[in-house]
Amino acid sequence: MKVIDASVGFKALVTEADSAKAIQLVEDYRNGVTELIAPDFYPVEVAHSLTRAERQGRITPAEGAKLLTTLLQDLPHALSSQVKIGVYDCLYVALAEQQGCDFVTAGDRLIRTLQGKYAFILALASI
């Protein structure tokens, strides 16, 4: 498990020194080779870096929007869209998965929808 900051996330999106290493970290994450975690404000900080790069003329606003979309694809939105569970619920699932611990919830629909796939989801009523 590795914690990354926005400077690494930015380098994975915009080519500069050490971008190849940042891209490899992200690819390893996507392929399940390594686990990456970051604070909740990580996407906002990367978005800030993208807009700064736009103002500096390093990327266009259209490129910035596309790169931000790429960044957001690695967040729990995909799970939320796929199983039609709220993004907030998916953030709890992602956190429990990242930390290797149980997730206790009283959300019946969430339990019915995801417990089969994520055995660490526990119904409050069951404990």
Q: What is the pLDDT of residues 16-54, one digit of tens each?
A: 998 999 999 889 988 888 877 776 778 888 899 999 999
pTM of the model: 0.61
How many whole angstroms from its chain centre is CA 62? Answer: 22
Which residues lie closer than 8 Å to 67 by C-beta, 6 or more apart?
13, 14, 50, 59
Which amino acid would we find at residue 77? H
List the domain boundaries for the chain.
Answer: 2-75, 84-126
